[in-house]
Amino acid sequence: MDIHSLEAFLMVAEHGSFSRAADKLFLTQPAVSKRIANLEQQLNAALFDRIGRDVYLTEAGELLKPKARQIVDEVKDLQTTIGQISTEEVRQLSMASSHHIGLHYLGPILKRFTEQNPLAQLDLRFMESEQAVASLLKRELELALTTVPKNLHRDLASQVIWRDELKFVVARDHPLSQKKGTLRLNELAHLTAILPDRQTTTFQIIEQTFSKHHIPLKRVISVNYLETIRTLVSHGLGWSLLPENLIDDELQTLQIDRVQLRRDLGIIRHRGRTISRGARALIEIVEQTQSRQSPENRITTPKDEIHAPPEPE
């Protein structure tokens, strides 16, 4: 029983398709089928029922799935640990970044990382924080630089690096921009809002704020990227909540009575995964970036368990 067959089994089980599993593994479908067939022969049990184009786990497959995941994870951790012992060089790093961090923070960090580790193979994926968290839990990634959710899964550890002060904004010619002084939150309730997807941490911050004041959030246009939201707001299509570094002369900041919002950005990793040399090198660079921030922007709250060893079961 080899690790590659178990990985193929887990991928087919996750996607319910040999062809989709083959795409994810960068293999041909016959190669995946052969690995599954070898595994079934070794176990003397059918692992999947084939019904049309779909496949479903058999009882034996359901029993194998958690054990296969445990074996694959332990082998990968062992490879990482031995790799760290046998070489001082950083060879690889798999990570994710949000689009916002990619545009505004990531460039200098990756420049230093590649300069210090010229042989490193970097697997970088851009995704929303919810997707990044899901990938970390599946151990598909080592690190994610993204928005840190308020309620982080217990298997994950985080370290806040940047703090975004969030501001209510409209276009310069929007009716609300003509109002003087502080506005009440309910003055926004019946106007069109342009906000991130409902599953995102940023949307949840806004939704919780309206709920706290018992105000319904009714007319919402969902847009994936903050930079796109900024553009739509600047054309007068609605109000939004944006980080200060996205606010320019085309936008008018609104002062809302008794409402001050922010979101935390930083590093998230899996507690149970051994930190590779590549991951540790990137964390150190990010921390150095934080230390060079101006005092008013520097995060002074204690670090979370980003460097801590896995918690005992």
pLDDT tens, residue order, the chain (313 aa): 788 899 999 999 999 989 988 998 889 999 999 999 999 999 999 999 988 778 899 999 999 999 999 898 888 777 766 665 555 667 788 999 999 999 999 999 999 999 998 888 889 999 888 889 999 998 889 999 999 988 899 999 999 999 989 999 999 999 898 888 899 999 998 899 999 988 888 888 899 999 998 998 888 999 988 999 999 999 999 999 999 989 999 999 999 998 989 999 999 999 988 888 889 999 999 998 776 654 444 444 444 445 444 443 3
Q: Note the pLDDT of residue 301.
A: 44
Distance set, CA 295 to CA 10, 238, 300, 304 (Å): 48, 34, 9, 20
Q: Note the pLDDT of residue 87.
A: 57
Length, in residues, of the chain:
313
Q: Note the pLDDT of residue 58.
A: 93
Tens-place pLDDT, residues 82-104: 665 555 667 788 999 999 999 99
Element (H, E) at 93: strand 92-97
Q: Which of 280, 281, 276 is nearest to 86 (CA)?
A: 276
Tokens of 228: 């796109």
| Terminal C-alpha separation, the chain | 27
Tokens of 109: 């960090």
Q: Note the pLDDT of residue 309.
A: 40
Tens-place pLDDT, residues 45-76: 999 998 877 889 999 999 999 999 989 888 87
Q: What is the DSSP track for 191-240?
A: S-EEE--TTSHHHHHHHHHHHHTT-----EEE-S-HHHHHHHHHTTS-BE
Q: Note the pLDDT of residue 35.
A: 93
Q: Note the pLDDT of residue 219.
A: 85
> What is the rounded CA–CA span in Å between residue 280 and residue 93?
10
Under 8 Å between Cβ of 290 and 161 = yes
Q: Note the pLDDT of residue 65.
A: 92
Distance set, CA 85 to CA 89, 143, 303 (Å): 10, 21, 27
CB count within 10 Å of CB 164 equals 20
Q: Note the pLDDT of residue 304.
A: 47
Distance set, CA 132 to CA 39, 73, 144, 146, 281 (Å): 31, 18, 6, 8, 20
Element (H, E) at 69: helix 59-86
